[in-house]
Amino acid sequence: MRSLRDAAVDRLAAQWTALGGQLASRSERSVVDPEALLVATSRLGGADPRVYEIAVAWCVAFGGVINVSRLRRVASELDGEASLGVLAASVRAAGGPGWPFAGIPLITSARRKVVVRDLVAPARLVWRLRAAFGVNARADLMAVLLVTPWPRSISDLATATRFGKRNVAGAVADMALAGIVEIERVGREDRVRLAPDAPIHAWRPPRADEGIIDWASRWRVILATIALEERTREASATARLVETRTSVEALRSDIIAGCLPRPEVTSSGPGFADAYQRWTADIAELIG
């Protein structure tokens, strides 16, 4: 049975391929989250040096599209501050932007292994919007709204984009003045959607499977599950059972937000252990 780590590394390769990395990999079809991809690569990319080198080469060429404050927030969420510091140091050593993260570089040079001719592919939607409208909350908000068929609250948009609610509210107000979004008051909250005549609708991904996936939440579940498996490999069955159940409970909201299969948690003892193994196999199949 294929391991979750192998499936996750293959997904990293698919996402970097979608962003122009020259890898012998399938290409991601859903919208790529650049910051979540960077943090996940810093945590797992060492398992495949090709993927890590592509990440560094891409950052050297296009690192200006990364939102550093959002990167810091996502790194904290994915428990990747230390590993991101190493990747950031590698990017700096290879001639890329000097992000404010401490670390010792894993590599100090990156050959040109990234080819990007345009940003039209659906996987590059966030990148395309940032290139057009700047590296700010507005671009990421438009990405979410483009693939959401229903109005979203300010709180919901802040959660989806990993920006603060005040930042999101200010960006939404400016976008409303520009005629890009409409705001409707429902009870005590504002609901936001793209204005029907906003020209940005032309950038909407044409297929449902090319839409937005909350990759920050999805990567958090994947990374935490891989780390748990490695940490409890030599533990007793009882200790492993306690830790896995605790982990599943802690990850519940991210499992839902990341549209991942939900584990069966009602059983106990060996029954729960078997259900947990089936769940990790289902995730590996989904992302592999």
**Could you tell me if 77 and 162 are in contact, meaning their C-beta atoms sit under 8 angstroms apart?**
yes
**Could you tell me if 130 and 139 are in contact, meaning their C-beta atoms sit under 8 angstroms apart?**
yes
The pLDDT, as a whole number, for residue 15 is: 96
Has residue 208 got a pLDDT over 60? no
Average pLDDT estimate for 142-155: 92
The pLDDT, as a whole number, for residue 59 is: 96
The pLDDT, as a whole number, for residue 33 is: 97
Average pLDDT estimate for 170-194: 94
Residue with tokens 């990405």: 143
Give percent above pLDDT 90 in the chain.
75
| pLDDT band per the 50, 70, 90 thresholds, residue 17 | very high
Domain ranges of the chain: 4-93, 122-210, 215-287
Across all residues in the chain, what is the average pLDDT? 92
How do residues 103-146 score in pLDDT, each as one tens digit?
Answer: 888 877 777 789 999 999 999 999 999 999 999 999 999 999 99
The pLDDT, as a whole number, for residue 9 is: 95
| pLDDT band per the 50, 70, 90 thresholds, residue 87 | very high
Query: Among 52-66, 156-170, 210-224, where is mean pLDDT lowest?
Result: 210-224
Has residue 1 got a pLDDT over 70? no
The pLDDT, as a whole number, for residue 210 is: 61
Report the amino acid identity of residue 131.
Answer: A
Has residue 269 got a pLDDT over 80? no
Q: DSSP H helical segments within the chain, as ranges?
A: 4-18, 34-44, 49-62, 68-77, 81-93, 125-133, 137-146, 154-161, 165-177, 215-231, 237-250, 252-257, 270-287
The pLDDT, as a whole number, for residue 112 is: 74
The residue among 110, 63, 58, 103 whose CA lies nearest residue 84 is 103
CATH 1.10.10.10 fits 122-210, yes or no: yes
Spatial separation of the C-alpha atoms in residues 263 and 276, rounded to whole Å? 6
DSSP 8-state class, residue 261: P
Of 48-57, 204-213, 265-274, give the range with the top mean pLDDT: 48-57
